[in-house]
Structure 1
Amino acid sequence: MELVKVGAAALNQTPLDWLGNKKNILAAIEEAKSQNIQILCLPELCITSYGCEDAFYSPDVFKISLEILEDIVDNTQDIVTCVGLPIWVNNKIYNAACVIANRQILGFVCKQHLPNYGLFYEDRWFHRWKPSQISEISIKGIKYPVGDLIFNFENIRIGLEICEDGWVANRPAIRHFDKGVDIILNPSASPFAFHKFKIREQLVTDASRAFCCAYVYTNLLGNEAGRLIFDGDAMVCSGGDVLASSQRFSYADFTLTSAIVDIGKNKIEQAKIKSSLPTDLKLINSNFELTYSEIPNTSFAEMEAFEKGGSLKEEEFSRAVSLALFDYLRKSRSNGFTISLSGGADSCACTALCGLMVRLGDESIGFEQFKEKLSYIPEIKSAKSIKELTEKLILTIYQGTENSSADTLESAQKLAESIGAQFYNININGLVENYTSLIEQQIGRKLTWATDDIPLQNIQARVRAPGVWMLANLNNHLLLATSNRSEVAVGYCTMDGDTAGSISPIAGIDKEWLRTWLVWLEKTGCEVKGKHIKIEGLKYVNALQPTAELRPKDNKQTDEKDLMPYKVLNHIEQLGIRDKKSPLECFKNLEKFYENQYTREDLFNWTNRFFKLWSRNQWKRERYAPGFHLDSHNLDPKSWTRFPILSGGFVFELEKLKEYYEGKSGGGRKKIGF
């Protein structure tokens, strides 16, 4: 048997949803059988799903996983299937994949390399299996091999790499090559990040070429556990060629990608190679962030260009967050989204994403199937069009004060109308005055903008929260928080005001890029069913300068005047937080990069301001609603950037920066060391 049809199934699973996960697995297996697929790879930990956190410690999770596995085994007549689950061996928990052939368990392969960086924490739950080690596991009195295994079928040798195993230098595939493996299966749970699918494709194609084999890679799909988005990226490569690649960001329960591979051709290529370790394999550092920043001389402009990636990034962002919102909605069994729509860039972006969610869902699985997935919502059944569906799912409210402008009201109303969302408009100025008056009576003085600027701004933002929460509760909706990544970095937000919400869809995106995306969505838009879906109602917000509208109108308040230019803020965040550079090193970098754009004094003041605000506002980042992981780095303390709530506040470091700026340590721009 030299021609073999192999398949990769991407599954939309949910942690500990035993029946739902089993249903998707069995449906994928049945579809694979109907397509005459002989070998099928299912994703990593697909029985339990990936994000079970400390529930992995529960022995009951292991026991139920084996019960589900039994049901899966019974449905594997005439097919070889690889399915992921946690197993206990000698009182240790392992991330494993079970290989089943024709209703028989052949063995369990355990993951050898566990990611423990950024948003990954696998060392907390699992043990690392030692290379070449083989043991056994007893299930209902029957013993099965477990460990670093190779499987043989009719002159075909199959080996496995489980996700991270394929991203490291000392990967199992090297030993598989020595043993003449013909097919490598890689069941993965690899979270979405911008352009990451290109890295995966390079990894898989290079491995299939260097190890002279067919390589089957599959991934999870959708918003699995709240923060991570899985794009359903799956592919089959052989001899360095991509034979098949999946549709990404599908709204379906699963997608299936298949191809026929020529095992005989690969065997001939293996015979030609005289070295046991191919020398031309491109190794990819397991930390995705390093794929573009590991070169010391890489400029900020080059990194920025890499990250923007033209319209590809806009499309990925639109599709990833829309899918994440849809899964979050249905898996939380909520009836829709409520948004406090101020008419500014952030709330307009959240509203536009909800509108895209409906349109992209219709493109992906069709109108009726989209409705079926939300059939638990009584009002959905009667919807006859995209517009009606949008109106039932999205509710917006504009809450103005005396400091709000006609421009932002128009921006909010026109956007809601353009996507078909419900729109309410109320004035909360009386509520603000009542709260202010109550406090003034207690403290015995009037509050003024000259002495009480921050409290007077914050009360307006906070007063908006109770009303919008009431609307969300009345409709069993998810309230969307509207803070962006730039605000997250410096705490430019009102806790229990614009941060109020169940999920924060744009917390991983900086404000500068978000504005370019809004323009793209207005003028170009997502390609859906051969047409570009634009949201032309965004033209009103795109004409506005970002402002909180919390100070009196004659103040002409803008966000960048309050903080600094967003591109500088984002640059400092990347240098200081992602790249771990000191305030002084950041300032030196900014001096060179913005030499002809900003004064040295401004750059010094902005650097000072950033680090002071960053350290003071960690408590805010700890309280943000869950956000989506979208980039190679994020600021979420629960999934990536951990920082102490109480710290020294960079006092020592900022003093060094001041000495350098004032010329006391080496004089002006001269290089100094300490």
Structure 2
Amino acid sequence: MGRKVTLATCSLNQWALDFEGNLDRILESIEISKNHGAKYRLGPELEICGYGCADHFYESDTLLHSFQVLRKLLESPITEDIICDVGMPIMHHNVRYNCRVLFLNRKILLIRPKMLMANYGNYREMRWFSPWNQLRKVEEYFLPRMIQEVTGQDTVPFGDCVLSTKDTCIGTEICAELWNPRSPHIQMGLDGVEIFTNSSASHHELRKADQRVNLIKSATTKTGGIYLYANQRGCDGDRVYYDGCAMVAINGDIVARGAQFSLNDVEVITATVDLEDVRSYRGEMCQPHMECEPELCHRVKVNFSLSTGDDVYLPTHQPITWNFHTPEEEISLGPACWLWDYLRRSGQAGFLLPLSGGVDSSSTACIVHSMCVLLCRAVQDDNRQVLEDIRRVVRDESYCPQHPKELCGRIFTTCYMATENSSEDTCNRARDLANQIGSTHMNINIDMAVKGILGIFSVVTGRWPKFHANGGSDRENLALQNVQARVRMVLAYLFAQLSLWARGKPGGLLVLGSANVDERYYWSYHFTTDMSKTLLMPLYTAQFADMGMTYSELSAIGRLRKISKCGPFSMFCKLIHLWKDVLSPMEVAQKVKHFFRMYSMNRHKMTTVTPSYHAESYSPDDNRFDLRPFLYNTRWTWQFRCIDNQVAHGHFQY
């Protein structure tokens, strides 16, 4: 009857500007798709150049090399007899667009530019691309000469169009368009488009996979249809981890899915689905609406079928249940995968972590161990790429990891940096954790270095600062804490560069920091995993911050400031209700004012923050996520006066 179609989507671990590697992974995914009988293959957003090129998108080289890769794809025999849908930047009429290019048998069928941009949070697409805002309008795009030589085409359709094969109709969405209230799949579905595709570069945030799945199920529940979702995987070269989750859905059901956290550079998901199921579903659910759809899609016709003539005995994929990871599993797996990509692509031989025995550095250590667990599982599953990468990292071509703890000892060094003020309890906790995970552990006493620096100061000034406990002032205490912190940092980088050398081994180590997003708002310290301490509390004993408020309170303040866009006064107005059972309005006011004073005093430190894994829907990262001044009037006189007036004269109703 010719109604069943086999479709392929994928998750690829692409790397910004790695045109050679990106090409190889695209070709591998197409070859796998064909081997599974697929007639259509979908890839992730901007897969040819990598999504994270940032200001490299301004460079003509990026456009040139993308077309060179496209030519290689067009010429390859691997791409024959399958519709290939790839992503790349294209300039049309001197305007740069984020595009999908669909081609078949050395002919470009159409170019579809992104229409709704992601321009919030971690995303700055409007900085590099313009949206195609001409609904249902299609123009002619003049191909570069290098592409004309292969295709024999001068121009191809460019714009808001869909692909009409002999047996069905395929329409494109690109990443954020699915999340938009005016998602293109609505009108496309009402105009008879049966297959929707979404090419994404969607990064990991806690519980975000749930949202993706629900959006795709909802899209195909409302209008019926088949939905293919492709996504980037891995660390593209920046602070986020793209977590895969490629999937295929039909009429509100997921019928095929990929992994959320995986070390496979290429993962292809195929599904066989029945077009008649879409038509039957729509005949009952959508027909009255489809009859009056006023805006018709521009259809680009192609003489090609996705189905075969005799498919009666071809089995179709049935609905499956998506088992989501718990938040604790996501915290363990997402940063672990990101760290592995960072390590294997950096050319270094492992990590070094100052391990204090506290919750933050212990969490980071556990994440590194989680990485080693994933690596050993991948090797056991015969992942040759992972094994080759491990051997390159440890500088041993014959090495094969046998156990996560043993691997941890090869690539992970921890050190406890003690002073005369350090407790034996924290030292023991650090040592015990290192023994449990298998890291190479060192105890380092930094008193000599601290006293050497203070000795220089004393020679010049004739004064010797003291801690609070010894009768020192606030300024003396802060200065001494900073000296200790900076000595630890200097020693961490020294041991990272030379500890393997001292053991007669090649290579250097990457230094890991540890703190959390809530403290970062307050103190603006550097760290590796950008997540709230409240998320780690189920794994550890609850702690209080040495800063006048609990971590739970800091987390609430941070979310109100970033997500709810609250200044001091509006934050106070919200918190008097959130905290009414435990704090008076006066106490809430004191905490809000204390936070904003400390935040504004330390804000300048965020301008030089080291890269950290982004795992939450809010972040103080000055370089990407949180664009705010660094020089403030730390007195906040007008704002705090409004709070004080409200406390003095307000009538609070709970």
Question: By the TM > 0.5 criterion, same fold?
Answer: yes
The equivalences for 1:255-266 within 5 A come to 255-266=267-278
Matching residue's letter, 1:462? R
- Quick check: 1:328 aligned with 2:342? yes
Give the counterpart of 1:231 among 243, 247, 252.
243
Give the counterpart of 1:491 among 499, 510, 523.
523
Match of 1:456 in 2: 480
Secondary structure of 1:562 counterpart: coil
Match of 2:393 in 1: 377
Match of 1:339 in 2: 353
CA gap of 1:398–1:159, structure 2 versus 1, over 3 A, is same
Secondary structure of 1:261 counterpart: strand
The separation in 2 between residues aligned to 1:400 and 1:71, in whole angstroms, is 57
The equivalences for 1:375-524 within 5 A come to 375-381=391-397, 382-386=399-403, 387-449=405-467, 450-451=472-473, 452-474=476-498, 475-491=507-523, 493=525, 499=526, 504-506=527-529, 508-516=530-538, 518-519=539-540
Match of 2:372 in 1: 358
The separation in 2 between residues aligned to 1:637 and 1:348, in whole angstroms, is 25
- Deviation of 1:221 after TM superposition, in Å, equals 0.6
Secondary structure of 2:269 counterpart: strand
Secondary structure of 1:575 counterpart: helix
Matching residue's letter, 1:385? Q
Secondary structure of 2:391 counterpart: coil
More displaced, 366-375 or 197-206?
366-375
8 Å CA contact retained: 1:137, 1:146: no
The separation in 1 between residues aligned to 2:608 and 2:363, in whole angstroms, is 22
CA-atom RMSD, angstroms? 2.2
Matching residue's letter, 1:232? G
The separation in 2 between residues aligned to 1:270 and 1:586, in whole angstroms, is 48
Matching residue's letter, 1:471? F
> 1:535-580 deviations in whole A, cap 9, x for unaligned?
xxxxxxx5xx75xxxxxxxxxxxx6243311111111222233212
- Deviation of 1:644 after TM superposition, in Å, equals 0.6
Match of 1:659 in 2: 645
- Quick check: 1:313 aligned with 2:327? yes
8 Å CA contact retained: 2:174, 2:200: yes
Secondary structure of 1:100 counterpart: strand
8 Å CA contact retained: 1:157, 1:181: yes
- Quick check: 1:573 aligned with 2:558? yes
8 Å CA contact retained: 2:394, 2:410: no
Matching residue's letter, 1:53? A
CA gap of 1:183–1:618, structure 2 versus 1, over 3 A, is same
Matching residue's letter, 1:425? N
Secondary structure of 1:616 counterpart: helix
- Deviation of 1:384 after TM superposition, in Å, equals 4.1
8 Å CA contact retained: 2:416, 2:443: yes
CA gap of 1:362–1:468, structure 2 versus 1, over 3 A, is same
Matching residue's letter, 2:97? Y
The separation in 1 between residues aligned to 2:188 and 2:581, in whole angstroms, is 56
TM-score of the superposed pair, with normalisation by structure 1: 0.84
The equivalences for 1:192-207 within 5 A come to 192-207=204-219
> 1:262-320 deviations in whole A, cap 9, x for unaligned?
112212333441113999xxxxxxxxxxxxxxxxxxxxxxxxxxxxx997111111111
Q: How many equivalent pairs are there? A: 592
> 1:189-244 deviations in whole A, cap 9, x for unaligned?
11111111111112112222323211111111111122111110111111111111
- Deviation of 1:12 after TM superposition, in Å, equals 0.3
Secondary structure of 1:249 counterpart: coil
The separation in 2 between residues aligned to 1:384 and 1:591, in whole angstroms, is 55
Secondary structure of 1:275 counterpart: helix
> 1:21-55 deviations in whole A, cap 9, x for unaligned?
11111111111111111211111100001010111
CA gap of 1:377–1:667, structure 2 versus 1, over 3 A, is closer
- Quick check: 1:16 aligned with 2:17? yes
CA gap of 1:172–1:587, structure 2 versus 1, over 3 A, is closer
Percent identity over the alignment is 29
Give the counterpart of 1:123 among 126, 133, 137.
126
TM-score of the superposed pair, with normalisation by structure 2: 0.86
- Quick check: 1:138 aligned with 2:143? yes
More displaced, 35-44 or 98-107?
98-107
The separation in 1 between residues aligned to 2:546 and 2:234, in whole angstroms, is 39
- Deviation of 1:178 after TM superposition, in Å, equals 4.0
- Deviation of 1:367 after TM superposition, in Å, equals 7.1
The separation in 2 between residues aligned to 1:174 and 1:492, in whole angstroms, is 44
- Deviation of 1:183 after TM superposition, in Å, equals 0.8
8 Å CA contact retained: 2:173, 2:184: yes
- Deviation of 1:492 after TM superposition, in Å, equals 5.9
> 1:138-159 deviations in whole A, cap 9, x for unaligned?
2324222211122122221111
CA gap of 1:610–1:206, structure 2 versus 1, over 3 A, is same
Matching residue's letter, 1:334? Q
- Deviation of 1:429 after TM superposition, in Å, equals 0.9
The equivalences for 1:138-287 within 5 A come to 138-140=143-145, 141=148, 142=153, 143-272=155-284, 273-276=287-290
> 1:591-613 deviations in whole A, cap 9, x for unaligned?
33333434555433221110111
Secondary structure of 1:51 counterpart: helix
The separation in 2 between residues aligned to 1:561 and 1:126, in whole angstroms, is 45
The separation in 2 between residues aligned to 1:277 and 1:667, in whole angstroms, is 58
The separation in 1 between residues aligned to 2:586 and 2:606, in whole angstroms, is 29
Matching residue's letter, 2:21? G
- Deviation of 1:8 after TM superposition, in Å, equals 1.0
- Deviation of 1:487 after TM superposition, in Å, equals 1.5
Match of 2:113 in 1: 110
The separation in 2 between residues aligned to 1:339 and 1:232, in whole angstroms, is 28
- Deviation of 1:361 after TM superposition, in Å, equals 2.5
Match of 2:602 in 1: 617
More displaced, 439-448 or 348-357?
439-448
> 1:359-414 deviations in whole A, cap 9, x for unaligned?
02323453763331233235344354223321111011111000101111111111
Secondary structure of 1:202 counterpart: helix
8 Å CA contact retained: 2:449, 2:487: yes
8 Å CA contact retained: 1:583, 1:611: yes
8 Å CA contact retained: 1:252, 1:365: no
The separation in 1 between residues aligned to 2:34 and 2:136, in whole angstroms, is 33
8 Å CA contact retained: 2:194, 2:278: yes
- Deviation of 1:586 after TM superposition, in Å, equals 2.6
8 Å CA contact retained: 2:14, 2:22: yes
Secondary structure of 1:175 counterpart: helix
Secondary structure of 1:37 counterpart: coil
The separation in 2 between residues aligned to 1:620 and 1:656, in whole angstroms, is 28
The separation in 1 between residues aligned to 2:547 and 2:162, in whole angstroms, is 61
Secondary structure of 2:455 counterpart: helix
The separation in 2 between residues aligned to 1:587 and 1:70, in whole angstroms, is 58
Match of 2:66 in 1: 65
The separation in 1 between residues aligned to 2:423 and 2:44, in whole angstroms, is 51
Give the counterpart of 1:629 among 574, 591, 614.
614
